[in-house]
Structure 1
Amino acid sequence: MQVEAIDAHPEFDLFTYCELSGETRIEHDLLEELEPRFDGWAEKYLRAYKITDPAAPGDGGHLLIWLEEPVEDEIEGVWQDSPSAGMSFHNLAIHMVMSAAQNVVPELADKGCAPLPKPTAGILKAFEKLGLVWNKEGTVNRQFAVFTRMPYSDGCGICMLRPKCPNASDD
């Protein structure tokens, strides 16, 4: 497998963040805290990689994006002081990785989802090389992460979460 770092430039979108958070409005003080964190996390802790199999040149590959552990630790610390603020920052981290993924694979925004494929043995080795551990539940050892195919293909048909997903469809 080839593992290539890529640029994933997430964009903070207030409307999308509010929709994700289930909020219709955000207090100015909270917004003043969200924006610098978004920029800081993106600059310091956002990781994005394209994983491709040289033996399958027609396959576009896979996208892997995550936020490093210091973001998780920061959110946990905020959560201990204020659960509502912690939830706000938790949602910000989710918004960031999804925005970054949509920047790289624009169809994800149209579909509203990033289908989770089952990784091959080669991809699992690539995860290890990047310091990540795959769990059988369909997650890596980072709380805020996206793993999907690129370009977008197969939708729900390849998604490991389909049996439990309330939004699953027959693409």
Structure 2
Amino acid sequence: MRIIVAITGASGSIYAYSMIRTLHQLGAETFVISTASGEKVMQYECGVTLQELEPYANVLDNGNLFASVASGSFKTDGMVILPCSMNTLGAIANGLGDTLLSRAASVTLKERRRLVIVPRETPLHIIHLENMLKLARAGADIMPASPGFYHHPTEIWELVNFMNARVLDALGVEHQLIKRWGER
């Protein structure tokens, strides 16, 4: 299984950090792309650098448009952008492919592979909503970072795992991150 994880400058990089480690534990071949702001936010919020992710994933340079994930002939099982800033969401929705992250997202859509976008922004204005609608119509799954509470979380990791479980479900990746509704 090959999954691309993209990180942008929106708050919530704990989701990406946890996802990358979870995919590693599940045996996935994981490719990480981060914007410059995404790297800074991850270091600020989690105390983690991109170099520290290298044992868990192939960390790619966002400026390298010759990386494998920039081509549709390189098969992947999907891509998740978490957290996704409105800047990145807008770029993808409007067909920009000037960075590896936006190019990989475009390739994922054109090849009809799963693209999961986890926006972490509030409130939303009409342009944000229209860009999300464009991407949903193009085949992306829009999954705002809105964890549930019916599992009675007591720690932040339970909220992170809840959201990441929903993302893994959307990507078709089997996992045991959470107990499902009706399970004890």
TM-score normalised by length of structure 2:
0.27
Which protein has the bigger helix share? 1
TM-score normalised by length of structure 1:
0.28
Higher relative contact order (CA 8 A, sep 6+): 1
